Amino acid sequence: MAPVAAQTMDVKSIKSVAESPALSSVPSAYDFNINPNDEADPNDPEFAIPIVDMSLLTSGSPDQRSKIIHDLVKICEEWGFFIAINHGVPESLMKGMIDACHGFFSLPDEEKEEFKSGNDVLEMFKYGTSYNLALDKVLLWRDFFKVRVHPEFYSLYKPACFSEVSMEFSKRTREVALEITRAISESLGLEPNYIHDAMNMDRGLQMLAANYYPPCPQPEHAIGIPHHTDHGLVTLLIQNEMNGLQVEHNGKWLTVNGPANGFFVNLADQMQILTNGKYKSVMHRATVNNKATRISIAIPHGPSVDTLIAPAPELLEKEGQAPKYIGMNYKEYIQLQQSGKNYMKSTFDHILA
């Protein structure tokens, strides 16, 4: 049965809802309960988030690089998530990108509405609230925008600084993502450029997606983004000084706390498919708080939209395995993930071999 939309009428931005002087509790359309018993103890060594020093990949000794690549095997199998440090992207550029996104969300609603579009993830840009108002059973405590920045670069034209900052930020984060895919290729025993070439990443889809989570009067009764995996290969994420990202590890939800100049890196669905399930697309979600606005910026990197994604034949032969997933065109996969029948469910169930 198709999900019942939370509301089909025009829904106000969460920024305007949160700034209403009369707001003292979460409106019923946003009601979402989080079970505190599902949360991990951040002081438990089992939940110590892996950290990858990117400088050892790019300019370390051969032994240092080999150790990082060796460590990536366990990280990608057990976590599908790590924090990248010493990655070469200036902290001033990261902060400038967050400030530019804050500038956009601070525009009057009628100006932001100029960037509204349909529900096609491949649109040049898109602004909205919640997730997909035609499908949402519960409204999400977030406003967002998404801009396609590769293979063609597009930008918001407001605020004035946005285009210049986003172009440089998109270029520099792409360099980091490609270095990560090279290291992951090597960790699988493949040539460094294997993933780049097999996934046609020279034409790969790269988005810049910003989320705005204002303070919530009852954060335990609302959600920024519910549990999900990303559809691409690898996603890089930065945030302002407020935490809120949680990753699932060993059946518990762990709030990610990392250095201001680090990238949160999560593996996504096409990486799990390509590696035949050896490497894990991490389940994650965004929680909200009652203290201050959180802004996060996710930069998903994927194959080209016309690439057929299937388990790598070289890996199947090496591991002596049969494919666990059927091949699917990346654009079709994205559309399947965001369709009504697959709303907030695992897309993997539809492509099991």
Residue 247 has pLDDT above 90, yes or no: yes
Task: Report the distance separating Cα 211 and Cα 221, nearest Å.
Answer: 19
List pLDDT tens digits, range 46-61.
999 999 999 999 998 9
pLDDT digits over 91-132, tens only?
999 999 999 999 999 999 999 988 887 666 677 888 998 877
The predicted-structure confidence for 251-309, as pLDDT tens digits, reads as follows: 999 999 989 899 999 999 999 999 999 999 999 999 999 999 999 999 999 999 999 99
Asked whether residue 134 is assigned to any structural domain, the reply reads yes
Compute the chain's Rg from CA coordinates. 20
pLDDT at site 340: 67
- 37 confidence band (pLDDT: 50, 70, 90): confident
Inter-CA distances, 228 with 66, 245, 344, Å: 32, 12, 7
**HSE of 211 in the Cβ direction (CA atoms, 13 Å)?**
25
Looking at the structure of the chain, the number of domains it has is 1
> What pTM value is reported for the model?
0.94
21: preceding bond cis by omega (within 30 degrees): no
Among 39-43, 286-290, 303-307, 313-317, where is mean pLDDT lowest?
39-43
What are 285's two structure tokens? 């979600």
Q: Is residue 80 exposed (0-12), middle (13-18) or buried (19+ Cβ within 10 Å)? A: buried
* 347 contacts 330 by C-beta, under 8 angstroms: no
CATH of residue 245's domain is 2.60.120.330
Residue 243: inside a domain: yes
pLDDT, one tens digit per residue, over 130-175 is 877 667 788 999 999 999 999 999 999 999 999 999 999 999 999 9
Residue 205 lies in a domain: yes
Whether 310 maps to a domain, the answer reads yes
Residue 125 domain-assigned (yes or no): yes
Does 82 map to a domain?
yes
Which residues are CB-contacts of 39 (< 8 A; sequence separation ≥ 6)?
246, 252, 253, 254, 255
The answer to whether residue 30 is domain-embedded is no
- The residues facing 239 across adjacent strands are 296
Spatial CB neighbours of 336, under 8 Å, sequence gap ≥ 6 = 328, 342, 347, 350
Q: What is the pLDDT of residue 118?
A: 65
Provide the residue range defining the domain that includes 171: 38-350
Q: Has residue 335 been placed in a domain?
A: yes
